[in-house]
Amino acid sequence: MAGETSLPTLLRHMSPVLNDGDYVFCCLRDAHLLAELQPLGSFREREGLSLILPRQQADQAGLSYDYRAAWITLEVHSSLAAVGLTAAVSAALAEQNISCNVVAGYYHDHLFVAQADAQRAMAALRQLAQQAE
């Protein structure tokens, strides 16, 4: 099933959900540690393997991090070819001085915001959806 590409529809139906837990971004230089972890996401960079992990896993593995995040899922099934959703969401959060790291999954977009900003981010996203109606 193809995802939605219409920006107004995506914004109206994004239905943000705040997932439970604390999440962190870590970098692995030693790939053998990966076998012990269950990352939400990963991306290989020149400096190592970047991972998004539940904070508890990072702590248990002794991995360092400096950013504690909340994970928000936009429940609308967005197409990977959709134009403008990331820009609109980022702009709405930037207006509230909230940093945002966006990860596009096959079905949904996922936002990682500072843990302290989670509720303000949810309010900003709900307001953006209401404005699109």
List of residues 6+ apart from 31 with CB closer than 8 A: 49
Domain assignment of residue 90, yes or no: yes
What's the pLDDT tens digit per position in 7-41? 999 999 999 999 999 999 999 887 777 788 999 99
> Does 2 fall in a domain?
no
The predicted pLDDT at position 109 comes to 97
> Is 1 part of a structural domain of the chain?
no
Residue 71 lies in a domain: yes
CATH number of domain containing 110:
3.30.2130.10
* Predicted pLDDT at 99: 96
Query: Does residue 23 sit within a domain?
Result: yes
> Tell me: the pLDDT tens digits for 48-70?
999 999 999 999 999 999 999 99
Domain span including residue 32: 7-131
Q: 8 with 42: CB under 8 angstroms?
A: no
Please count the structural domains in the chain.
1
What's the pTM value of the predicted model, to 2 decimals?
0.94
